[in-house]
Structure 1
Amino acid sequence: MEFDLIVKNGVIVTASEVLPEGLEIGVKDGKITCIGTGLPSTHNTKIIDAEGAYITPGGVDSHVHLAQANSPTGDGWETGSRSAIAGGTTTIIAFASQEREDTSLYPVLKDYHATAKDQSYCDYGFHFILTNPTPEILHDELPVMAEKEGITSVKLYMTYDALKVNDREVLNILFACKALGMTTMIHAESHDMIAFIIDGLERNKYTEPYFHAIARPRIAEDEASYRAISLAELADAPMLIVHMSSDVAVNHVRDAQTRLLPIHAETCPHYLFLLSEKLKAEPHDHFSGAKHVCSPPLRHDPKDLEGLWQSIANGTFTTFSSDHAPSKYDHTGGKKLGLVDGIPRFANIPNGLPGIETRMALLFGQTPACQPLEKARLSLPRFVQLTATNPAKLYGLSGVKGSIAPGYDADLVIWHPKAAGACTISQSMLHHDMDYTPFEGVEVGNWPRFTVLRGQVAWSQAEGVVGSLQAGKFLMRGRGEVVGGRVGGVPRGMGVEERAYWL
């Protein structure tokens, strides 16, 4: 058999194991067709010598905000996907956002397809953000979206006036999505707790960026996460709680998982590496903390970080996403919306941080590939699970994305051998359309040397982004898998027959 590409002399890592050295990956027509030794090549075969470096699946970043109307200074598809490829991510799933006044999802989908078409360096899919879940949308439109449009996930908010849905609406959505095999994502924070605290802070004139972290305490995330899990348990529906930052909230997930509930959890780099002190003013810029405003907020204590790292290692977290939701800092339509007549107003600062390009390297740097074994925070297979395999399974891309195996798309990250890829993150090295990175000065033990998308080199650290802007294709996704737990359970305290009375 003639291969288009052979990657040799690397160490392949999958979600279950680190394979023996010396195996080669053979690629034909964009697919992995063979893993073996001594694969034959011709003058038409491109050869990549990994030089003993690790090879992992192309990253799947399942929580990305691009080209959203409520973030006019944020990344669009071209710059966001360029940044993704440069950081080792070959698949992104972004959000088509329904506005309150939208009574149908079809125009929302049409408009978002138009923004993405021929504007992505990597493959992509969409989630819907639901803010107006009418019976017509849930019963008539979602089945079409799942079965014909390849969109098999939705996101809900329990906070933000413009976005939040109430508990009854959450239940309606959970039941509808369960029937279709769709994954329900939920932003879990207690809206009323947060609104109450913000009123008090503003009344007492505590409005600097740092008070954003005070306004959204852990208990607001803890309570809402427990409530969201309870709603999902009543509905017997799979659910993923996004961007978790509180180890107490994560413990609620862990408890649900021990009872085999299909509850999944996601966290992000900023909750593992940064603390709320980043929201405090710098001497030369009293508003600089606005760069680090996100929700849930960065937490106060290093113990908070350690609790999340334990959940990274022990399997509680299902996915690790960037939640790339950027707004420029030095822009009147970006973070500086929070400066009103020169006075900081944290409640007006757009939420979100850039991070699509730095996600993979930050986590890879905490594996035995870059750390002594006794200091590594997670194994290499666990890295692959979190960054590629699990999100692919959860969001209906199993068998296509997220693994290195025959039949899968030839999406690969080839790292540098040993310490050759070590670097310090700086704004100047990144490819997004932002004016800062929250990870400025953070050292990482490696960086992708090559990113391969469907058998074609899309990023070479020596040459930069070499892929085509039109290379990315829209992914028609299937039913999501339950990665942990199972459906069919009965809520605690309920009889087996009780649902039959009210369903």
Structure 2
Amino acid sequence: MAEPFDCMIRGGRVVTASGTFDADVAISGEAIAAIGRGLGEARRVIDATDKLVLPGGVDPHCHIEQMTAAGVVNADTFATATTSALFGGTTTVIPFAAQHVGASLKGTVADYHRLAEKGAVVDYALHMILADPTPEVIAEELPALVAAGHSSIKLFMTYDRLKVDDERFLDVLLAARKAGALVCVHAENHGMIAWMGKRLVERGYIKPKYHAMAHPRLAEVEAFGRLIAMARLVDQPVMIFHVSTAEGAAVIRQARGEGTKIFAETCPHYLLLDASALDKPGTEGAKWMCSPPMRTQGDSEALWQAIRLGDLQVVSSDHAPFRHDETGKLKAGPGANFKQMANGMPGLENRLPILFDAMVSQGRFTLEKFVEVTATAPARIYNLHPRKGSIQPGADADIAIWDPERAVTLADADVHDATGYTPYPGRVVRGWPETVLVRGTVAVAGDKLQIAPGFGRFLPRSGGEAARPTGRLEAELDPARNFGAELL
């Protein structure tokens, strides 16, 4: 007689990025063992009748237990942030190890590992933020860290204490090319933002709603174009974070159409909110301050279309949690101007329910597309697939069982992160993850967390296919002499 499986999810409708079908899912140990009907017995059976069986979400862009360059610490620990992720159906996260100027990148990564090992309840990888890419960091620390499984780097084109100038930017792109890493970028024109912000504050326009005006949409468009040109020069693939404008999406569409290896993402708040959210009494609008800011309803429609066309492959949360008090948004005091308020909004918990409602329940997209942009595509791009992001034999049994008809009203009182609010209070969403498994262990059942901090594991990654150059090296200035390749 065959040994029983450890767990069986029975009677549900399985959804992958490529198809939807009725099947049972059998789990042995931490992995999916079989998918089908009549699979045999199991020590534990989970009834998924009338439910959807989806891969756990992969959120590849979230800030956890991170201090900003301005010295403001996120509200969340790894325990609170990843607990909120679980309650929203997300089972894998990629937060940041954020280097500050003067700090060792190697030491920074080690510090974040200690925090994650202690607190994470879901599996995690780490992006490395380079704020100080000195020659020593680029030549010595970066290649070793990439080889150790940290195969994605983040650079900023704005913020006084984070921005990397074009020449050093090219140095990092080339180092990433040699090491086999993917470069992710916050791309906005720093000069435009600084100039606009200064003029607004000088004239007394200091409320949170003016934050949106301080980030001209042209700042995104110009930075995208400059980034793409630099990426082409050294033939280095890049991921453009949090696309917010119709024009930005169009720049990406053109570059991808010309064969440039560009990936891009957006976030739920750019799809579902607009700049009017900032226009609240007093400092209340600070809760909706993020960079880049939300734009217009027309931009939202253009971003939905960019997802439809494949110009944007991923929808991440960009979870950046700051409390609306003196520890976070209002650290500079209740009379602070918008430039003194921390940028960022919570999003890990609400990302999947908000998107399920907008994409599936409201009929914009198929279930398969929902799974693709929230789980499978990020797992592929960041080289976590097939272990993460799909339901298939051999994959980790990271599974979210959804009730597609359950309606939930989002409320500040119900959040599981430490921010204390949701950007979507009062919004009713239809579709909710009721049972969530991480590597075969039931992590959330109903309203109860079933696992303890430290359950999550680090996921070392190589760069994978996404980080591979195309072979079209635009630095080859003189093809007859191969002069450009010699320079690189």
TM range (shorter): over 0.9
Aligned residue in 1 for 2:422: 437
State the one-letter code of the partner of 1:291: K
Give the Cα separation in 1 of the matches to 2:98 and 2:469: 29
Hey, what does 2:156 align to over in structure 1? Answer: 157
Secondary structure of 1:446's aligned partner: strand
State the distance in 1 between where 2:142 and 2:134 align. 11
Aligned length: 481
What is the letter of the counterpart of residue 322 of structure 2?
S
Q: Which residue of 1 aligns with 2:357?
A: 365
In 2, the alpha carbon distance for the partners of 1:406 and 1:259 equals 37
Matching of residue 48 in structure 1 with residue 46 in structure 2: yes
> Is 1:324 matched with 2:319?
yes
Residues 1:290 and 2:286 aligned together: yes
For 1:494 and 1:338, locate their aligned partners in 2 and report how far apart those are by CA, in whole Å: 51
1:352-391 to 2 correspondences below 5 Å: 352-368=344-360, 370-371=361-362, 376-391=363-378
**Residues 413 and 420 in structure 2, CA contact (< 8 A), matched pair in contact too:** no
Distance 1:142 1:436, change over 3 A: same
Q: CA RMSD in A?
A: 1.8
- Say which of 464, 473, 477 aligns to 2:448: 464
Q: Residue 489 of structure 1: which of 456, 461, 472 is its match? A: 472
Q: Does the 8 A contact of 1:209 with 1:344 survive in 2?
A: no
Q: Structure 2 regions of 5+ residues with no counterpart?
A: none
Distance 1:73 1:256, change over 3 A: closer
When residues 4 and 309 of structure 1 are mapped into structure 2, their CA distance, relative to the original with a 3 A threshold, is same
Gaps of 5+ in 1: none
CA distance in 1, matches of 2:475, 2:366: 35
Matches within 5 A, 1:96-495: 96-102=97-103, 104-148=104-148, 150-282=149-281, 286-299=282-295, 301-329=296-324, 331-339=325-333, 342-368=334-360, 370-371=361-362, 376-416=363-403, 418-419=404-405, 421-461=406-446, 463-482=447-466, 487-491=470-474
Superposition deviation, residue 132 in structure 1: 1.1
Deviation larger for 5-14 or 288-297? 5-14
* Secondary structure in structure 1 of the residue aligned to 2:384: coil
Q: 1:498 to 1:439 in 2, by over 3 A?
A: farther
How far, CA to CA, are the matches of 1:251 and 1:39 in structure 2? Answer: 48
Compute the displacement of 1:494 (Å): 6.1
Structure 1 contact 338–346 (Cα < 8 Å) conserved: no
Sequence identity, in percent? Answer: 39
Is the 1:99–1:131 Cα contact (8 Å) retained in structure 2? yes
Note if contact 1:338-1:347 (Cα within 8 Å) is conserved in structure 2: no
Note closer, same or farther for the CA distance 1:335–1:425 as it changes in structure 2 (3 Å cut).
same
Contact between 1:261 and 1:486, CA under 8 Å: does it hold in 2? no
Measure the CA separation in 2 of the matches of 1:17 and 1:261.
29
What is the DSSP-based 3-state SS (H/G/I as helix, E as strand, rest coil) of the residue aligned with 1:336? Answer: coil
Give 1:259 shift. Answer: 1.6
TM normalised by structure 2 equals 0.95
Indicate the residue corresponding to 1:95 in structure 2. 96
Deviation at 1:492, TM superposition (A): 11
- 1:357-391 deviation digits (Å, cap 9, x = unpaired): 000111111234x23xxxx2222222111111111
CA contact under 8 A between 1:174 and 1:235: conserved in structure 2? Answer: yes
Q: Give a deviation string over 1:416-453, Cα, whole Å, max 9, x none.
A: 1x41x211111122211112111111221111011110
CA contact (8 A) 2:234 2:473 kept: no
Kindly state the Cα deviation for residue 128 of structure 1 after the two structures are TM-superposed: 0.7
| Distance (Å, rounded) in 1 between the aligned partners of 2:73 and 2:486 | 48
Cα deviation digits, residues 255-304 of structure 1 (max 9, x gap) = 1111221100011111111111111123xxx11111111000111x2111
Alignment match, 1:10: 12
CA drift of 1:164 comes to 0.5
Give per-residue Cα distances to partners, 1:153-198, cap 9 Å, x unaligned.
1100000001110111111111111222211000000000111111
Matching residue's letter, 1:310: Q
Deviation at 1:78, TM superposition (A): 0.8
1:312–1:378 CA contact under 8 A, matched in 2: no
SS of the residue corresponding to residue 457 of structure 1 reads strand
Deviation at residue 486 of structure 1 after TM alignment = 6.2
| Residues in 2 aligned to 1:11 and 1:223: alpha-carbon distance in whole angstroms | 45
Letter in 1 for 2:314: T
Contact 2:475 2:485 in 1 (8 A): no
| Distance in 1, Cα, partners of 2:332 & 2:425 | 22
* Aligned-partner residue type, residue 137 of structure 2: I
Letter in 2 for 1:465: L
Helix, strand or coil for the counterpart of 1:266?
Answer: strand
**Conserved in 2, the CA contact under 8 Å of 1:424 and 1:443?**
yes
Structure 1 CA distance for aligned equivalents of residues 426 and 248 of structure 2: 30
- Structure 1 length normalisation: TM-score? 0.92
